[in-house]
Amino acid sequence: MYSKKLFLFDFDGVVVDGMNEYWHSALFALEKFLNSPDIVIDQNLYKQVSNTFIEMRPWVKYGWEMLIIVHEIIKSENPLNSNNKSHFQQKYHQNCQKILLDKHWVSEDLQKCLDKSRKYQIDKDFDNWVNLHKPFYEVIDFIEKIKKEKIKTGIITTKGKVFAEKILEKLNIFPEFIFGYESGTKVEIASRLSNEYEIIGFIEDRKKTLFDIKQNDDTKHIPCYLAEWGYLKKTDKNNLPNEIKLLNLKNLEQLLAI
C-alpha cells in the first residue's frame, strides 16, 4: 500500500490558457530564428491570434508543431485557413512530417527555435511574456486545496521545464514535480512515478494521451480526467470510455472526496 499520494496535471489548456503565448512565441521564432523564405512577418500578426491557429491547436502534441502550423497559416502561397484546415487535420501527423521533409527541417531544431524565442522574450520583457498566459483560477485553487490535504502535485507538460517553472512561480504555484518535454512522454513519466506514489488523478485535455495512459499496463490504474475547458476537438467528448471521466471547472471540487 502506498503511503504517498500524488495528483498530476497537464499544463497548457489545464492550468493555464497559453494560446496567446504559443502564437506569439511561434511567430517570433519564425521571424528571428527560422528565417523561412516563404513568409513575411507583418507586425500586425502579433496583435491577435489567428482563428485557424485556435482551430488547429487541439491536434498539436509537441511545441515544435506550432511552428509548422503558424508557418502554414502565414505563408504567402496557399496558406492554411478555415477553408482548407479540415484537409490538413484529416492527416495531421502525415502533413507535419511531409512539411519537415519538404523544408529539410528537423523537429528537434524547430523545438530549439521555439525555446530560443521564449528565452529571448523572457530575458527582454519577462512580465509581458508571462502575462500572455491566462490562468484557470479554479484549477489553481484546487491545487492549493490538494496540497493542504498533504497530497503532492505534479505538472507534466510538453513545454520546456524551465519555462513552465517561470510561469508557475509567477502564479505562486510550487508543485513537488515539474516535468517538461525533456523528461520523456507523459506515459513514461507517469509510469516512473507510479513506482513510488499512488497517483490518484491525472487531468489532461488531450484525449489520445489519456487513452495511452489507460492502455499501458503500468499506468492503466490511474484515474483519468478529460478537461472540458481545455483545447478539445469537437468529437473529444463523444464516446468516452468509462475509465476516462469528462471534467469541468465547476465539479473540480468533487475530486477532493477521492
Digit-coded pLDDT (tens) for 187-234: 999 999 999 999 999 999 999 999 999 999 999 999 999 999 999 998
CA dihedral 81, 83, 84, 86 (to 10 degrees): 110
The domains of the chain are located at: 5-17+134-257, 19-130
pLDDT of residue 35: 82
- Over the stretch 62-91, which tens digit does the pLDDT of each residue have? 999 999 999 999 999 999 998 999 999 999
Whole-angstrom distance, CA of residue 179 vs CA of residue 164: 9
- Amino acid identity at 101: L
> How many Å apart are CA 66 and CA 59, to the nearest integer?
10
pLDDT at 255: 87
pLDDT confidence tier of residue 253, bands split at 50, 70 and 90: confident
127's CB contacts (< 8 A; 6+ apart) are none
For range 10-15, the mean pLDDT: 96
- Residue-level pLDDT at 258: 60
pLDDT of 75 reads 94
- Listed residue (13, 3, 71) closest to 207, CA to CA: 13
The whole-model pTM stands at 0.92
The third-level CATH classification (topology) of the domain covering 5-17+134-257 is Rossmann fold (3.40.50)
Nine-digit cell at 11? 499544463
Residue 2 has pLDDT above 70, yes or no: no
Q: What are phi and psi of 79, to 5 degrees?
A: -70, 155
Query: pLDDT digit string (tens) for 138-166?
Result: 999 999 999 999 999 999 999 999 999 99
Phi-psi region of 135 (alpha: psi -120 to 50; beta: other; left: phi over 0): beta
Angle at 175 between CA 237 and CA 196, to 5 degrees: 85
- pLDDT at 57 (0 to 100): 95
Q: Decide if pLDDT at 56 tops 90.
A: yes
What percent of the chain clears pLDDT 90, i.e. is strictly above it? 90
Select from 193, 191, 20, 35 the least CA-distant residue to 110: 35
